[in-house]
Structure 1
Amino acid sequence: HIEEGEVTDGSIEWNGERIDRKPAQDIAKLGIIQALEGRRVFGHLTAEENLMVGAHYR
């Protein structure tokens, strides 16, 4: 369960490694970003397409 960006129950893992206790900059180095609901950059694109655009310009 995640509330306001903080894990309140359980854990978050990426490729078998627990990441919910890592600093944000370390998580970003893994290529993981926070994508908030309803905040599309390009309204005509799907959520996946918006994320791909962001990844392309990273």
Structure 2
Amino acid sequence: MAIEKSTERRAKSKRTIKLPGKVERYANTDPVDIARELRSKSRLGQREAKLDAAEKKLAQ
């Protein structure tokens, strides 16, 4: 199972971010935002999006 890693952000420095299959980079991105992006791109996130769309369609 691939896991994203993110160091703690210090005063004025940027956070080190390592995502699965990508090189390490530096950014001010919040770890929660990183996790949300990864989840939306995952199979589970795509299934949840389809389910939400179907529920909205039924609600109309």
TM-score, structure 1 normalization: 0.31
Using CA pairs below 8 Å that are at least 6 residues apart, which structure has the higher relative contact order? 2
Q: Which has the larger radius of gyration?
A: 2
More helix, by proportion: 2
